[in-house]
Structure 1
C-alpha cells in the first residue's frame, strides 16, 4: 500500500516545522526537551571537542532510529511503521537542510516559546495522519512488550524524563527548567492541532416542539438529528430528546432555532472531541 498524497504533504510540512523548532531554537540554546532529538543535542555538545561542530543532529536521529525500527518491526503495525519510517527519514532530511541559526541569541524563554510552538504544530500534523517521527514513541512500544504492567505513555514519560535529566547534567539546571516550559507548550500546540481538526459541538434538546425543531435543523442547516425517548424523573412524563452534532460556528444557529421554536426548551451544549462520519471527518481506511 502506498502512502496517500495528502498524508505525505502533511508529514513533510510537519517535519519541516519540527526542524525549524529544533535547528533555530532548541539546539542553539542547548535545550533538551526529551526524545531522540534531545539525545542528539546532548551528543552534539559532548562531541564538539572531538569533531568540529559535534556530531550533526540529523545523523544521530537517523542512526538511533534505524536500530529502533529493526527492533520494532514485529511490534508495530505495517502501515504505521511505513509512515513512521518515511516521517523519520524526512525529519532527518529537514534537520540536514534547515540551517542552524540562533534566532534567540541566548534568550531561553524565546527558545522555549517559539521552539515549543513550531515543534508542537509539527508533531500535531505528523500525528494527525497516524504517523510518528520514531524515537521514544517506538522505544516505548518496544519496552512495553516486556513491561506490560506499565502503559506506553508511562514508559515514554520515563524515557523522556531521563533524557531531560541528561540535558540538565550536560548543560545545567537553568536551561532544563526552560525546557520544561518548552515541553508544556509543545504538548499544548500538538493538542490544539489534533483537537482542532476534529473538534465539534454536541447539542441535547428536550422540548415539546421537538418535531418542528428537528425539521428546521434538517431543512435549514442540512444536519442530521437523532431523537431518543426520555422520561422526566420529577414529572414522570415521557419526552423526546434531540441530539445533534454541529461545527463550532454552527452552534449559535442551532441555539437560535431552538429559541424561536420553543423559548422554554431545555438545551445542553457540550464539546465533542471527535466526530466521525458524513459531514465531519471521514473514516480512515
Structure 2
C-alpha cells in the first residue's frame, strides 16, 4: 500500500495546482470556448457538442485512462504515480467547481478572460510540475510516442497535438476564440516558467578590477552578499587582474554600481540576468511554499 502514497508536500502542491487549473478552465476558458489544447481543451469541445451531456471532468478522466495504462506498461507504476494523483484531483476539482456559480460569467471581455484563464492554468501546471507530477494529457501522450519513436522530440509532439485540438476548437467555436486561445497558451507557458524558476529575478555580476580584495570586502559588508574571486589575464594587455563574481537582487544593482565606482572607478563591470538562483542566501527568498 505504501507504493500508492506520496509525500504530503507533493500532495498539497498537486492539490493547489489542480484547483487553479480547474478554476481557469471552468470559470474562464470553457464559458466562451477558449480551447487552448490539452485534454481539457478537448473536453471543452465535447461538452459543447454534447450540450453539456459529457462534462469536462469526465472527458479528462476517460481520455487519460488509456494513456496511464500504456505508460505503466512502458515505464512502470512509479513513473506515473504522482501524475495519477494530479489527473484524479483535476477531474474531481473540475466537477466540484462546475457545481458553483461562476462569478465571472458576465465578464464579456475575451482578452481579459484569456489572460486570467491562461495565468491560472499556467500557475497551476507549474505547481503540479514542481511536485514532480504532470497533468497527463498531451505531455503523457507525447512521452508514449517518444518511447516508441525516439526520433520525435517531445516539445514538437506536444505542440502538434495541442495544435490539432486548437484547430478542432476553432471549427467548433470559431476563429476569434481560437486566436485568443493562442494568447492564453502563451500566457500559460510564461506562468509555468515563472513558477518553475521561482519567480525571482536576480543579477549575475562580473567585476574585473585591480582592487579585488577591497571590492569583495565592500560587497560583503555593505550588500551582505558573498562573492567568488579568481585571476584573469587581458587578451591584449596581458595584464593579470582579479575577477569577482557575485549574484545580487535587482534592487541591489544601483547600490553595487555606486560601491564599485567608489572603490575602483576604472573597474570593468558586466551585469546579466539570472533566471534561477539556488543556494545559501537565496533559498529562503526563492521558496514559494
TM-score tier after normalising by the smaller chain length: 0.7 to 0.9
| Structure 1 position 203, deviation (Å) | 0.7
Check whether the contact 2:211–2:242 (CA below 8 A) recurs between aligned residues. no
Q: Distance in 2 between matches of 1:225 and 1:74?
A: 49
* Count of aligned residue pairs for this structure pair: 278
Are 1:138 and 2:143 matched, yes or no?
no
Q: Distance in 1 between matches of 2:95 and 2:118?
A: 20
Aligned to 1:66: 65
Q: Quick one: structure 1 residues 103 and 138, their matched pair in 2 at CA, closer, same or farther if it must change by over 3 Å?
A: same
Equivalent position to 2:9, from 6, 11, 16: 6
| Structure 1 position 77, deviation (Å) | 7.7
Aligned to 1:90: 89
| Structure 1 position 187, deviation (Å) | 1.6
Q: Quick one: structure 1 residues 221 and 106, their matched pair in 2 at CA, closer, same or farther if it must change by over 3 Å?
A: closer
| Structure 1 position 215, deviation (Å) | 2.0
Aligned to 1:204: 206
- SS of 1:73 mapped into structure 2: helix
Residues 55-83 of structure 1: CA deviation (Å, up to 9, x unaligned): 11111111211221111125558665222
Are 1:270 and 2:269 matched, yes or no?
no
Residues 199-257 of structure 1: CA deviation (Å, up to 9, x unaligned): 42211001111011112223444433212221112211111111112233333443333
Unaligned ranges ≥5, structure 2: 285-289
Check whether the contact 1:80–1:130 (CA below 8 A) recurs between aligned residues. no
Are 1:153 and 2:155 matched, yes or no?
yes
Q: Distance in 2 between matches of 1:176 and 1:144?
A: 28
Aligned to 1:114: 116
TM-score (norm 2): 0.87
Q: Distance in 2 between matches of 1:163 and 1:125?
A: 24
Aligned to 2:185: 183
Q: Distance in 2 between matches of 1:177 and 1:192?
A: 23
Of 64-73 and 251-260, more deviation after overlay is shown by 251-260
- SS of 2:136 mapped into structure 1: coil
Aligned to 2:26: 23
Q: What is the root-mean-square deviation in Å for CA atoms of aligned residues?
A: 2.3
| Structure 1 position 134, deviation (Å) | 1.1
Q: Distance in 1 between matches of 2:64 and 2:150?
A: 22
Equivalent position to 1:230, from 224, 229, 232: 232
Aligned to 2:246: 244
| Structure 1 position 189, deviation (Å) | 2.3
Q: Distance in 2 between matches of 1:76 and 1:254?
A: 50
- SS of 1:270 mapped into structure 2: strand
Q: Distance in 1 between matches of 2:253 and 2:76?
A: 38
TM-score (norm 1): 0.88
Aligned to 2:35: 32
| Structure 1 position 164, deviation (Å) | 0.6
Check whether the contact 1:25–1:104 (CA below 8 A) recurs between aligned residues. no
Unaligned ranges ≥5, structure 1: none
Q: Distance in 2 between matches of 1:203 and 1:224?
A: 12
- SS of 1:279 mapped into structure 2: coil
Q: Distance in 2 between matches of 1:42 and 1:219?
A: 60
